[in-house]
Amino acid sequence: MDRLEVAHRRLHNQRLSGPPLPGPGAVVRHLGASQAQEYAMAKWSLGQRSEGADDATVQAALDAGEVLRTHVLRPTWHFVAPEDIRWMLALTGPRVRQMSRYYERRSGIDDDLVDRATAAMGEALRGGNHLTRPQLQEALARAGIVASGIRLAYLIMAAELDAVVVSGVLSGKQRTYALLDERVPPTSVLDADEALAELTRRYFVSHGPATVKDFRWWSSLTLTQIRRGLAIVGEELTSVDVDGLTYWFGPAEAPVRDASPTVHVLQGYDEYGVAYTEGRTAANIADLSIAPAGTNQVIQPLVLDSQVVGWWRRVVERDEIVAEPHLAVTLDGAQQDAMRASFDRLAGFAGMPVRLDLDG
């Protein structure tokens, strides 16, 4: 195995190539979790991996609670499946909360305040109420808790990590929060080792080949936990050394690759890019300079036959999406057609035209 095969296996295992999954719920169950910081484009990540899904299909799954959005794994939003949310929060929530302590202290948040705020939000949401962030802010104010901006965000995150609050239905164009216990029926509880083994198995099967450090970044677990997880799953996973790195994955023959050229238009936080640290080079074997020098912006990758060859900027206008590709390579005619086809698929998902601005 070489790094190019690593990249193609990842495309296949993440379901960006090969047969799509039946729907958004199946995608998040397969991936374990999918980063969902940028809401509109995070839905596109699920749509890309689903058969025939458009934005309305994904939103319907979110409204129905078939897919949930919460803080888990790391201090950012993820889409997760309802049957996974409790054990995943129990396993990674304490680590995420610990990683948030610095910002909590800067915002004047302590454990007592978290307990009072979580109780106030829980009471406001009880009875099937789905409330927007400003409405939760008002509920906190009624309880004598002043919170806005980062302070409000971290109080809500703490309530999510405590398995009290989770995403609700869309209200107009505003996202809402609901009580997790009212959104998710009781589920069997995995013990610590079962949860550790399940997350280990889920990551390496869906994201592999990947390294231990990749998994550590993705999950926030400690190296001790990861080593134990690998020991528990045993021969369900295998490993291979490539260019000095050890990659773990589910045993399988090398997948049939999509016909070349194939282009994938990804969101900036798509799992194909964000789920790796030291193993990230497999998607840029040529070591191309993709991001503009000195930038700290989130790069939305353009992937050609498993390799990142550029990025694109998205501008939503009244009646269309303008896409500005920025390429680190020169595409031939067939590759340009493949890129246009991928943007056409985005247009179909979004339900509005996508105009390519090649001079952007």
Looking at residue 187, its pLDDT comes to 82
Which residues are paired to 302 by β-bridges?
265, 310
* Boundary-marking domain end, from 137, 156, 183: 183
Cβ atoms within 10 Å, residue 360: 12
Nearest of 193, 237, 194, 235 to residue 215 by alpha carbon: 237
Looking at residue 296, its pLDDT comes to 62
246 within a domain of the structure (yes/no): no
In this structure, are 174 and 291 located in the same domain? no
* Boundary-marking domain end, from 126, 158, 183: 183
Beta 321-327 vs 354-356: how paired, if at all?
parallel
Looking at residue 99, its pLDDT comes to 95
Distance CA 59, CA 43 (A): 8
Looking at residue 164, its pLDDT comes to 98
6 within a domain of the structure (yes/no): no
215 within a domain of the structure (yes/no): no
Looking at residue 189, its pLDDT comes to 82
Please write down the HEC assignment for all residues of the chain. CCHHHHHHHHHHHCCCCCCCECCHHHHHHHHCCEECCCHHHHHHHHHHCECCCCHHHHHHHHHCCCCEEEECCCCCEEEECHHHHHHHHHHHHHHHHHHCHHHHHHCCCCHHHHHHHHHHHHHHHCCCCCEEHHHHHHHHHHCCCCCCHHHHHHHHHHHHHCCCEEECCCECCECEEEEHHHHCCCCCCCCHHHHHHHHHHHHHHHHCCECHHHHHHHHCCCHHHHHHHHHHHHHHCEEEEECCEEEEECCCCCCCCCCCCCEEECCCCCHHHHCCCHHHHHHCCCCCCCCCCCCCCCCEEEEECCEEEEEEEEEECCCCEEEEEEECCCCCHHHHHHHHHHHHHHHHHHCCCEEECCCC
Looking at residue 332, its pLDDT comes to 97
Question: Which residue positions in the chain have pLDDT lower than 70?
Answer: 293-297, 360
Distance CA 116, CA 103 (A): 18
In this structure, are 135 and 269 located in the same domain? no
Looking at residue 144, its pLDDT comes to 98
Cβ atoms within 10 Å, residue 295: 9
Distance CA 257, CA 340 (A): 20
In this structure, are 32 and 162 located in the same domain? yes
**Residue 77: which domain range?**
15-183
Looking at residue 298, its pLDDT comes to 77
251 within a domain of the structure (yes/no): no
In this structure, are 178 and 290 located in the same domain? no
Distance CA 255, CA 93 (A): 35
Interior/surface letters 178-190, b for 16+ CB within 10 angstroms, e for the rest:
bbbebbbeeeeeb
224 within a domain of the structure (yes/no): no
196 within a domain of the structure (yes/no): no
199 within a domain of the structure (yes/no): no
In this structure, are 107 and 19 located in the same domain? yes
Query: Is pTM, for the whole model, over 0.75?
Result: yes
- Number of structural domains (the chain) is 2
In this structure, are 27 and 176 located in the same domain? yes
Distances (CA, A) of 62 to 56, 102, 163, 172, 177: 10, 31, 18, 14, 12
Distances (CA, A) of 63 to 274, 349, 359: 26, 18, 38
What phi and psi values does residue 41 have, to the nearest 5 degrees? -80, -25
* Boundary-marking domain end, from 152, 183, 214: 183
In this structure, are 156 and 276 located in the same domain? no
Distance CA 338, CA 346 (A): 13
Nearest of 8, 14, 7 to residue 49 by alpha carbon: 14
83 within a domain of the structure (yes/no): yes
Looking at residue 360, its pLDDT comes to 61
